[in-house]
C-alpha cells in the first residue's frame, strides 16, 4: 500500500511539473492524486499495513480540511507541491508503526511548511525563520527523548516504563508544533504574514499534528498535570492577549491558541479522550473555513487591521466567515459547540471543576474579540465600493462546502462523535 501511495505521489509531481504552465491542469493533477491517495488509505486491506480507527480519523480529517484549500488556491506550482507534500506526509503518518518514523515524517512537514510560509516579503521570511528555528528546537527535544527512551526501554515507541523526564522531553517537542503556551510565539507571525492558503494549512492541519503524536505515541498519564497547567496558561494568555490585538489574522492566531488549550484540556483532564479528538477535527474544519472566507472578503485590500476593514463582510463570503466565527465561538448549531460542550462534560465527569472554570473564563475573554470582529466587519460603516459582490465560483465553492460541513457536524454530530469514540479506543494510556 505505501509503495502504491508513493508511486501516485511521485507520478503526480512529475505530471504536474510538465503541465505546470497550465495552472488549472496542474492543480487538477495534484488534487486528483491527493483524493486517490486519501481514499486508498481509508479503503486498503488493514491486514497489509497498520491502520486503526485513530489513524483513519486523521486521514479523514486531512482530506476534508485540505481538498477545499487546494481547490481555492491560485498559487504557483511550487506552492501546490509543498501543500501536496505536507498532506501526503500526513497520510503516511497514519501508517507509521513507530515513533521514530512518525518523527521523520513530521520533520518533512515542518521543512515543507516553513518554505510555504515565505511569499517574497521580509515579514514572511522572518516568520518562516522563527517558525523553523523554534520547531527545530522542539524537534531536538523530541529526538533526544526518542534516543533516551530507546536506551532505557530498547523500544522506538514510548511505553508505560518510560521515565517522567524522557516523557516530558517527548511531549515538549510535540506541543511546540501545536503552538501551546509558552511555545506559541511563532503562530501569530505565520498567520499574519503567509498567504491565505498557507495560513489555512497551518490552522486546519499542522497545529493539530502534534496532538495526533500525543494521542498515538505520547499519552503519558504521569505528565498530564503539566499539560493541564499549560492548557490553562494557553487559554488565559491568548484570551487576554487577544483583547489588545487589532490585526485580524493575529486575532485568529490567538483564537487558535485558545482552542489548542481546549484540546490539551481534553487530553489532560477529561475522563475520555474522544471529546479532544472531536474538537481537534471540528476546530480544524472551522479555522480552514475562517481563513478561506477571509481571503475572499479581503481580496481587494492588503489591510489586516480591523479598523480598516469596516463593512467588508456584508456579502456571501462574509456570511460564511460569520458562521466560522460563530463556530470558534462555540455558538450552536455549529460543530465546535458540540465538541466544546463534550470537553466540559467529560472534564466535569472526572471531578475537575477549576479547569472548567478556566476554560469558561477564556471563553468569555475570546467572546469579546469575536464580537469586535463581527462589529467591524459587518456593522461598522465603511466604504461600500470596497465590498465585493461577486466571486469566482472556483474560490467560493470550497468555502461553501466547508460552511456546510461546519453546520452539518453541528446539527447532526452523532456520526462524527461515534467516529471519535472509536478512534479514542486506540489511544494508549502510558
| SS3 assignment for the chain | CHHHHHHHHHHHHHHHHHCCCCHHHHHHHHHHHHHHHHHHHHHCCCCCCCCCHHHHHHHHHHHHHHHHHHHHCCCCHHHHHHHHHHHHHHHHHHHCCCHHHHHHHHHHHHHHHHHHHCCCCHHHHHHHHHHHHHHHHHHHHHHHHHHHHHHHHCCCCCCCCCCHHHHHHHHHHHHHHCCCCCCCCHHHHHHHHCCHHHHHHHHHHHHHHHHHHHHHHCCCHHHHHHHHHHHHHHHHHHHHHHCCCCEHHHHHHHHHHHHHHHHHHHHHCCCCCHHHHHHHHHHHHHHHHHHHHHHHHCCCCCCCEHHHCCCCCCCHHHHHHHHHHHHHCCCCCCHHHHHHHHHHHHHHHCCCCHHHHHHHHHHHHHHHHHHHHHHHHHHCCCCHHHCCCCCCHHHHHHHHHHHHHHHHHHHCCHHHHHHHHHHHCCCCCC
What integer pLDDT is reported at residue 409 of this predicted model?
Answer: 94
For residue 182, say if its preceding peptide bond is cis, omega within 30 degrees of 0: yes
What integer pLDDT is reported at residue 384 of this predicted model?
Answer: 46
Residue range 268-288, pLDDT digits in tens: 887 888 999 999 999 999 999
CB proximity list for 354: less than 8 A, separation 6 or greater: none
Average pLDDT for 197-219? 88
pLDDT at 187 over 80: yes
In the block, residue with C-alpha cell 485513530: 54
Instruction: Enter the pTM of the model.
Output: 0.90
What is the chain's mean pLDDT, rounded?
86
Average pLDDT for 236-255? 92
In the chain, where are the structural domains located? 2-424
Q: How sure is the predictor about 149, in pLDDT bands with cuts at 50, 70 and 90?
A: confident
Cα of 139 vs its chain's centroid, Å: 18
pLDDT at 194 over 70: yes
Residue range 21-65, pLDDT digits in tens: 888 888 888 888 888 888 877 776 554 455 678 888 888 888 888
Geometric angle at alpha carbon 228, from 363 and 100, rounded to 5°: 115
Q: How sure is the predictor about 304, in pLDDT bands with cuts at 50, 70 and 90?
A: confident
What integer pLDDT is reported at residue 51 of this predicted model?
Answer: 65
Choose the weakest-confidence range: 52-61, 120-129, 133-142, 388-397. Answer: 388-397
Is 45 exposed, middle or buried (CB count within 10 Å of its CB: 0-12, 13-18, 19+)?
A: exposed
Q: How sure is the predictor about 251, in pLDDT bands with cuts at 50, 70 and 90?
A: very high
pLDDT at 10 over 50: yes
Choose the weakest-confidence range: 222-226, 234-238, 340-344. Answer: 222-226
Average pLDDT for 224-246? 92
pLDDT at 224 over 60: yes
Residue range 381-405, pLDDT digits in tens: 765 445 555 667 778 899 999 999 9
pLDDT at 237 over 90: yes
pLDDT at 217 over 90: no
pLDDT at 204 over 70: yes
What integer pLDDT is reported at residue 170 of this predicted model?
Answer: 87
C-alpha distances (whole Å) from 174 to each of 107, 110, 180, 377 are 11, 12, 9, 35
Positive or negative, the Cα torsion across 257, 159, 60, 29? positive
Decide: 216 and 155 in contact? Cβ < 8 Å.
Answer: no
What integer pLDDT is reported at residue 48 of this predicted model?
Answer: 47
Distance, CA of 299 to CA of 401 (rounded, Å): 19
What integer pLDDT is reported at residue 386 of this predicted model?
Answer: 52
Amino acid at each position: 500500500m505505501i509503495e502504491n501511495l508513493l508511486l501516485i505521489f511521485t507520478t503526480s509531481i512529475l505530471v504536474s511539473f510538465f503541465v505546470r504552465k497550465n495552472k488549472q491542469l496542474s492543480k487538477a493533477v495534484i488534487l486528483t492524486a491527493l483524493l486517490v491517495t486519501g481514499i486508498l488509505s481509508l479503503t486498503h486491506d488493514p491486514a497489509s499495513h497498520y491502520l486503526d480507527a485513530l489513524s483513519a480519523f486523521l486521514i479523514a480529517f486531512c482530506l476534508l480540511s485540505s481538498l477545499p484549500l487546494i481547490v481555492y488556491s491560485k498559487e504557483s506550482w511550487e506552492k501546490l507541491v509543498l501543500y501536496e507534500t505536507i498532506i501526503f506526509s500526513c497520510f503516511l503518518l497514519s501508517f507509521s508503526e513507530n515513533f521514530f518514523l512518525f518523527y521523520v515524517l513530521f520533520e518533512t512537514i515542518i521543512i515543507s511548511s516553513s518554505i510555504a510560509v515565505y511569499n517574497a516579503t521580509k515579514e514572511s521570511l522572518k516568520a518562516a525563520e522563527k517558525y523553523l528555528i523554534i520547531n527545530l528546537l522542539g524537534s531536538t527535544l523530541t529526538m533526544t527523548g526518542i534516543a533516551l527512551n530507546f536506551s532505557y526501554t530498547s523500544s522506538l515507541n514510548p511505553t508505560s516504563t518510560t521515565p517522567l523526564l524522557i516523557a516530558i522531553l517527548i511531549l515538549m517537542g510535540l506541543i511546540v508544533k501545536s503552538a501551546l503556551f509558552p511555545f506559541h510565539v511563532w503562530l501569530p507571525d505565520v498567520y499574519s504574514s503567509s498567504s491565505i492558503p498557507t495560513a489555512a494549512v497551518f490552522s486546519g492541519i499542522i497545529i493539530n499534528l502534534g496532538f495526533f503524536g500525543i494521542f498515538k505515541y505520547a499519552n503519558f498519564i504521569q505528565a498530564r498535570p503539566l499539560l493541564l497547567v499549560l492548557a490553562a496558561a494557553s487559554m488565559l494568555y491568548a484570551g487576554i492577549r487577544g483583547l489588545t490585538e487589532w490585526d485580524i489574522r493575529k486575532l485568529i492566531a490567538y483564537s487558535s491558541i485558545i482552542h489548542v488549550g481546549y484540546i490539551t484540556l481534553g487530553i489532560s483532564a477529561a475522563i475520555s479522550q474522544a471529546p479532544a479528538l472531536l474538537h481537534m477535527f471540528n476546530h480544524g474544519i472551522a479555522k480552514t473555513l475562517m481563513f478561506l472566507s477571509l481571503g475572499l472578503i479581503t481580496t481587494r485590500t492588503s489591510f489586516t487591521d480591523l479598523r480598516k476593514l469596516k463593512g467588508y463582510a456584508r456579502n456571501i463570503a462574509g456570511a460564511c466567515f460569520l458562521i466560522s466565527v460563530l463556530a470558534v465561538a462555540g455558538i450552536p448549531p455549529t460543530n465546535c459547540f458540540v465538541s466544546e460542550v463534550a470537553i466540559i462534560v467529560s472534564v466535569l465527569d472526572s471531578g475537575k471543576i477549576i479547569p472548567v472554570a478556566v476554560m469558561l473564563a477564556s471563553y468569555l475573554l475570546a467572546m469579546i474579540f469575536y464580537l469586535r470582529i463581527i462589529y467591524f466587519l459587518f456593522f461598522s460603516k465603511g466604504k461600500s465600493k470596497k465590498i465585493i459582490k461577486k466571486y469566482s465560483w472556483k474560490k467560493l465553492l470550497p468555502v461553501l462546502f466547508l460552511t456546510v460541513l461546519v453546520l452539518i457536524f453541528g446539527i447532526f454530530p452523532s456520526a462524527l462523535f461515534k467516529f471519535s469514540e472509536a478512534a479514542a479506543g486506540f489511544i494508549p494510556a502510558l
